[in-house]
């Protein structure tokens, strides 16, 4: 089966995937924070803390992905 994406499109698709992952994880963290705040009566604590933890994790992943050393002479 032939790959329908060219080599120049692959990095763009990877970054689109990381952006989508960021949005989904932030949405889940906000929703989970609101739910936990409602259950524990600690109103702004989890709503602020969970998205910040997600941001730290996603930025770590983003930095790790963008600073990878290219192998095989620059071909991914």
pLDDT score, position 64: 85
| pTM (whole model) above 0.75 | no
The answer to whether the beta carbons of residues 22 and 58 sit under 8 Å apart is: yes
Distance, in Å, from the CA atom of 1 to the CA atom of 25, rounded to the nearest integer, reads 33
pLDDT score, position 23: 92
Residue located via tokens 């989508």: 20
Structural tokens at position 71: 């192998």
- Cα 21 to chain centroid, rounded: 4
Residue located via tokens 């329908």: 4
Report residues of the chain scoring pLDDT below 50. 1
The answer to whether the beta carbons of residues 34 and 26 sit under 8 Å apart is: no
């Amino acid at each position: 089966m032939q790959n329908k994406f060219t080599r120049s499109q692959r990095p763009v698709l990877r970054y689109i995937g990381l952006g989508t992952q960021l949005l989904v994880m932030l949405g889940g963290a906000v929703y989970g924070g609101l739910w936990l705040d409602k259950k524990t009566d600690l109103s702004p604590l989890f709503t602020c803390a969970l998205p910040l933890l997600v941001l730290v994790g996603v930025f770590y992943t983003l930095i790790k992905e963008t600073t990878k050393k290219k192998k095989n002479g620059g071909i991914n």
